[in-house]
Amino acid sequence: MFNEILVGKKSQMNYVLACLTAFHEGAKEVTIKARGRSISKAVDVVEIVRKKFMTDITIKDINIGTDEIKLNDNVRRISSISIVLAKMK
């Protein structure tokens, strides 16, 4: 099963809930992604899931990078993060 949650403008708890739901539905891994200012929120979401709700979740991988977004003729560069969470066996 492939699960990816893109953290954006909604409130933190929306994404926490989406993540918990994915794991409860049997996902072995969930990837949390965010761009720009939402990166801080993505880290908060991961910390809330791990510390408050599911202590059997580990951080398997964290990557940061730059996404290029084309707006008309301009190319904007925006930082991104991708955090892979996995259920311990």
Figure out which of the listed residues 40, 55, 58, 60 binds a copy of itself, where binding follows CB under 8 A. Answer: 40
d(CA 21, CA 37): 25
The answer to the question of residue 37 lying near a copy of itself (CB under 8 A) is yes
Stretch that binds a copy of itself, among 2-10, 15-23, 35-43 (CB under 8 A): 35-43
Q: Which residues are at the interface with a copy of itself (CB under 8 A)?
A: 36-40, 43-44, 46-47, 51, 59, 62-66, 77, 79-81, 83
